[in-house]
Amino acid sequence: MVRQWAWLIAFVVSAVFLYFGRGRGAAFFRFNRPSLVAVAAVLAAAAIAPAGLGRVQPGARGVVLRFGAPTGRVAGEGIYYVIPIAERVVQVNTQINTVHFDRAQATTHDLEPVYADLAASFHVDPSHVIDVYSLLRNNYAQRIVTPAVEDAWKATAASYTASDIIDQREAVQKDFANGVRSRLQKFGLSLDALATTRFNFSYVYAQAAQQKVASIQRTLEAQQELQRIKFESQQSVVRAKSEVEALKLQRNIPMNQLIRMREIDLQRRAIEKWDGHLPAQTGSVPFLGNTLQPRQD
- Position 62 scores a pLDDT of 92
Do the domain assignments include residue 289?
Answer: no
107 and 192 inside one domain: yes
- Position 91 scores a pLDDT of 92
258 and 179 inside one domain: no
- Position 159 scores a pLDDT of 92
Do the domain assignments include residue 23?
Answer: yes
Low-confidence ranges of the chain (pLDDT < 70): 1-8, 10-11, 17-33, 35-36, 46, 49, 202-211, 213-214, 246-258, 274-297
Do the domain assignments include residue 297?
Answer: no
179 and 123 inside one domain: yes
Residue 108's domain comprises 97-201
- Position 29 scores a pLDDT of 56
Residue at which a domain ends, from 76, 93, 110? 93
Residue at which a domain ends, from 93, 108, 123? 93
Q: How many domains does the chain have?
A: 3
70 and 108 inside one domain: no
- Position 21 scores a pLDDT of 63
106 and 85 inside one domain: no
Do the domain assignments include residue 209?
Answer: no
137 and 228 inside one domain: no
Do the domain assignments include residue 287?
Answer: no
CA angle 173, 208, 108 (to 5 degrees): 35
Do the domain assignments include residue 89?
Answer: yes
69 and 155 inside one domain: no
Do the domain assignments include residue 292?
Answer: no
Residue at which a domain ends, from 61, 93, 125? 93
27 and 122 inside one domain: no
The pTM of the full predicted model, rounded to 2 decimals, is 0.58
168 and 237 inside one domain: no
125 and 188 inside one domain: yes
Predicted confidence (pLDDT) per residue in 38-65, tens digit: 777 777 776 776 777 888 999 999 999 9
- Position 293 scores a pLDDT of 47
Do the domain assignments include residue 225?
Answer: yes
232 and 164 inside one domain: no
101 and 82 inside one domain: no
CATH number at residue 171: 3.30.479.30
